[in-house]
Structure 1
Amino acid sequence: MKEIKQIYYNDLGTSFYWKKENEVVTDKVQLIFRETGFYLTKHELHLFKSCIEESSILNKCCDDCELKNKCHKFLLNTPCSQIDLAVSMEELNAVKDLVEGTLFKINLEDYLYGVGMN
């Protein structure tokens, strides 16, 4: 198995950088949730975050439904134009946490080891 450097994880999935020849490859992030994996740039992660926010807004119409979080499936667009996912609201919220947590950790490391260094 190849080595990885984990960025973020939650109950739904994980994100990490691949290592190649003992060096961390940071140009793309491997994002895995359920049985699906995406290999995305930071820009594509931001696009995915926007897709998640748009899906959340479009599906607020059933906020009062007790079954909304588990029974209903919502369409989630991805940065890959050929791929859309059917998710429950519960899964949508977990994917949102995964993507936002990943971006937060990447931005924090960029700051700490970039412009934030003295």
Structure 2
Amino acid sequence: MKEIKQIYYNDSGTSFYWKKEDEVVSDKVQLIFRETGFYFTKHELQVFNCCIEESIKLNKCCDNCELKIKCHKFLLKTPCSQIDLAVSMEELNSVKDLVDGTLFKINLEDYLFGVGMN
């Protein structure tokens, strides 16, 4: 099995960098959500985050329904134009946490070991 450097995880998935010959390959992030894997650049991950935000805005139509969080499925667009995911609001919130956490950690590391270094 190849080695990885984990970035972030929650109950629905994980994100990590692959390692090749003991070096972290940080130009793309492997994002695993449920049983689906995406291999995104940082820009594609940011686009996916925008898709998630848009889906949350579009699907707030049943806010008062107690079952909405688990029963209804919505299409979530991805940066891959051929791929959409069917997710519940609960899963949508979970993938949002996964992507937000991943971007936060990547941006923090970029700052600490880039611009923030003296």
In the superposition, the TM-score normalised over structure 1's length comes to 0.99
| 1:1-118 correspondence runs (5 A) | 1-118=1-118
Q: Deviations over 1:42-74 (max 9, x none)?
A: 000000000000000000011001100000001
User: What secondary structure is seen at the aligned counterpart in 1 of 2:2?
Assistant: coil
Give me the identity figure in percent: 86
How far apart, in 2, do the equivalents of 1:83 and 1:4 lie?
25
Structure 1 residue 93, shift from structure 2 partner: 0.1
Paired positions, count:
118
CA RMSD of aligned residues (A): 0.3
How far apart, in 2, do the equivalents of 1:107 and 1:74 lie?
29
Which structure 1 segments of 5+ residues have no match?
none
How far apart, in 2, do the equivalents of 1:47 and 1:25 lie?
21
How far apart, in 2, do the equivalents of 1:63 and 1:46 lie?
26
